[in-house]
Structures are given as C-alpha cells and as structure tokens.
Amino acid sequence: MKEFFQSVKHKWENIWLPKIQTKTEIELERDKTYETRWVWYHAVIAISCLMTNILLIWILLTLRGA
C-alpha cells in the first residue's frame, strides 16, 4: 500500500508541480537588460502619449475659441 501512495505522489509531482529550473548568470543578466529596456521603452511611449494628448487638447481649445 505504501508503494502505491508513493507512486501516486511521484506521478502527481511530475504532472502538476512546476519544474525548478536554475538560470545561469548570463541568463539573469540578459533578463535584467531586457526588463530595463522594456521599462524605458514604455516610459517613452507614455511620455509621447501625454504630449500628444496635451497637443490635442490645445488644438481643441484653439478651434473652439475661433
């Protein structure tokens, strides 16, 4: 009976539990570089969207007054 439960536990772990993977230093550095670039890229996009919205509001107010 004990062997049955151990085999069920082993099968359960192989199916449902995530595999633990370790990353090398090169992979960690690459991931950190990617995350940094991702943050800067999206910051630039957010600033450009803000500037566009300000410009559109200025145009709206200018045309509304005319």
Q: Is residue 20 situated within a structural domain?
A: no
The verdict on residue 66 lying in a domain is no
In this prediction the pTM is: 0.58
In a domain, 43, yes or no: yes
Residue at token pair 């082993």: 10
Kindly state whether residue 17 falls inside one of the protein's structural domains. Answer: no
- How many angstroms separate the CA atoms of 57 and 37, rounded? 30
Residue 15 lies inside a defined structural domain of this protein: no
Give the pLDDT of residue 18.
65
14-66 tens-digit pLDDT = 776 666 677 788 888 999 999 999 999 999 999 999 999 999 999 999 999 86
Q: Does 23 reside within a domain?
A: no
For residues 28 and 38, give the distance between their C-alpha atoms in angstroms, rounded to a whole number.
15
Q: How many domains does the chain have?
A: 1
Is position 49 within any domain? yes
